[in-house]
Structure 1
Amino acid sequence: MERNLIVERAQEGKALAKQREDFREGRPRKHSKSQVQHALELLKTHMTHIYNEVEEMTGITKRALIRRKNELEAKTF
């Protein structure tokens, strides 16, 4: 019985949260858009920088940079 109340409350809260425009389900991103944008600009403008160097400079992993770059390219097309 108590479990049902908890589940019901959680569902109500989630339904209310989904009505907000800025609602985003799931784990929050570790790095902000501006941080990722800065790292991608380093890759783009300074062709001498490679992913490993940008990772050391910004703290954003190589895999995360590649993933975010692919996401941005997919939105562009």
Structure 2
Amino acid sequence: MTEPVKVIVTLEAGAPGDVGQRLADKGLKIEAMLDAIGIITGACDAGDIARLQKVDGVAAVEHDIAVDIGPPDAEPS
């Protein structure tokens, strides 16, 4: 079994209210629903991404990556 991948789901304006449940039904393990900005974050198997992209109201499904900008006093590299 592969390790789940973290994803960011961007919703279309006016996406149906049950889009979160429909994404979960397609394999998304929801971590956060940011309704004010139309974003849902979560994790799924890599093979589920294509199914998530086809859910009505979904604009995009993208891999989430960690970003580290370092401490404020760090020298640029």
TM surpasses 0.5: no
Please identify which structure carries the higher helix content.
1
Please identify which structure carries the higher strand content.
2
Structure scoring higher RCO (CA < 8 A, sep ≥ 6) equals 2
User: Computing the radius of gyration over CA atoms, which structure comes out larger, 1 or 2?
Assistant: 1
TM-score (norm 2): 0.28
